[in-house]
Structure 1
């Protein structure tokens, strides 16, 4: 995600009374008495006491030793490696298909549903003897939309500015304060948020879009369409947002870019 998204979430956490600590190492955790408080000993500073400790360890796929893949987050249970039609590449006869988290491509519910539609079309075409549907630039690459349901919500599709530059694109990025959009007042007093668009300067298409703000996830599908369909910016200029809504952020980003 773009750095500003995490900064806005951290500010919101702090306002809610959450003590957020960055770059903090835990040396050990102990519970002296069964059912009692947990003590967390830190590398720097006094220990912390808590009722419980929640550790975010990520997810693993329940493949029980399926075919290997370098994309696995956990080497002990690798995902089922598939091609762009969701067909397992390591199974003789090509009878096995794998969609969703089990293939390790994009561990998101909506991406599993998308892959299932692709897979169903392929299986139906094979059953009829038709030519298999063309697969190009599957959405579970940079077209995969992501939402973090924090307060504020953080959502993004495509590349961040840093990713785009590292891949060699000639990039220009524009940002806009979502709270300055007229429709923001309809969602509540003191609305705070930020949007960022990453533009391929050579082709004049969007490489990525990030929103952070209350209810921002509802804006993401429009960004997903623009990024995956590579809609030219001069066409987006004529996609008129309703007034007064937060979707006017699109107009403001394009104005900031200079169209």
Structure 2
């Protein structure tokens, strides 16, 4: 058979999944568990962005940084950890967590659960069909009896600057996979990627400047104090943060030379590398959306079972970043589990479809209980609505804040502990709408808040969830006491 020969799967599959990242893997796992034959199509590495260029390498890089910072806050250790990090060891551990950018283990897992894999670039080819351009130059046409799921994720979006591509900027991929430490790094943006990568590369020896377009500062999708505390710590570590400035031009005159950034205040910034952490775009520009009446390159609007609303007959699903509901790996995996179960229920009729609020086939948490941890020093963790979001949604709320440093467990965790906790309470229904924690090690507090928000647990019942002493989680008791005693600001406070 020649490389140009058209090949086809004679029997087809029940379900075709485009994209073998964590979202695609989870969706395929659920449809296969429902007894449906399933195939995944992947053009890069099985395991996707998270495994090789995002979650895993970034957190592997951050862990030594945070561990050193924690040790530096304890007598008996701070005297031993004052020196620089051993960069080769940090990068090697990062490489280990990416499996050295090899996907053999993930491919073995697919085989073990009975999911087929077709490598190549897959495009929709009309209703319930996908054509795959294979690595050997051939093509294979797959057909789906029941559903096609788009799980192709997102990519870094570069700003529309003249010649920006020619300066070979870093995106999140280069920032998490670089083999060397730049002497000077400019970070453009103020979101999660920007602050985490500023934390990493400053600690590894780079002189880091963060450029933020707006005056609001960092982490603007969280409570304002989160960005303020992270900015304070970054500045103390040696990062320069400049707000209210925009990049208007970028030049790299010599291929191996520095980058010069022109700023809207008339100044210039010279750096050895520049990271643009300025948002994401859907990876849907070349997956055949036009063959089913959709706009190439668009985000895909879905219902709460992740079914694409604009496609008749309900056979097309989209989970993860491509539907633009919550661009986080864990939330995409949650959507995938919901969508896979919904596909199975629609095909088999068992269990019956349940798409009501908090139903088994409804991704309700996308609206009400999205958790997120920013792994800086200090960590910032949040779930549900911020106070501003709750007010904008029309809720009558009370906001209660507590200083985490006043909790015994925090004082034991580190000398000079700095942090803050907030809960946003629905005054009419008596349960949490959101919670935010900022401070060392608060990421592990978040799941208890997620359970409380998603479960809509009444505050009267939360009183009976006794936090262990002396732990940082005792902040829950302090928050509940403050609420009981009438502390906190109301909806207009």
User: What is the TM-score of this pair, normalised by structure 1?
Assistant: 0.89
CA contact (8 A) 2:302 2:318 kept: yes
Question: In structure 2, what is the equivalent of residue 215 of structure 1?
Answer: 441
Task: Please give the per-residue CA displacement for 1:3-48, whole angstroms capped at 9, x wherever unaligned.
Answer: 0000000001101100011112334333343322222333337532
After superposition, the C-alpha distances for 1:194-236 in whole angstroms (9 at most, x for unaligned) are: 1111111222211111111112111111111111211111111
Distance (whole Å) between structure 2 residues aligned to residue 117 and residue 132 of structure 1:
14
Once residues 97 and 12 of structure 1 are traced to their aligned partners in structure 2, the CA distance between those partners, rounded to angstroms, is: 42
The partner residue of 2:338 within 109, 112, 118 is 118
- Could you say which residue in structure 2 is the equivalent of 1:166? 392
Indicate the residue corresponding to 2:227 in structure 1.
6
Q: How many residues align?
A: 252
Q: Trace 1:38-187 onto structure 2 (pairs within 5 A).
A: 38-44=259-265, 46-64=267-285, 66=289, 77-130=297-350, 131-136=352-357, 138-187=364-413
| Deviation beyond 4 Å, 4+ runs, structure 1 | none
2:460 to 231, 234, 248: 234
Which runs of 5 or more structure 2 residues have no equivalent in the other structure?
1-221, 359-363, 486-493
Q: Which has the larger radius of gyration?
A: 2
Look up the SS of the partner of 2:398 in the other structure. strand
Cα 1:43–1:97, aligned 2, differ >3 Å: closer, same or farther?
Answer: closer
Tell me how far apart the structure 2 counterparts of residues 198 and 182 of structure 1 sit (CA, whole Å).
Answer: 23
- Residue 249 of structure 2 is aligned with which of 28, 52, 68? 28
| Root-mean-square deviation (Å) | 2.0
Q: Which has the higher helix share?
A: 2
Is the alpha carbon distance of 1:42 and 1:93 closer, same or farther for their aligned partners in structure 2, counting shifts above 3 Å?
A: closer
Distance, in Å, in 2 between the alignment partners of 1:128 and 1:150 is: 45
1:252 matched to 2:478: yes
| TM-score after normalising by structure 2 | 0.48
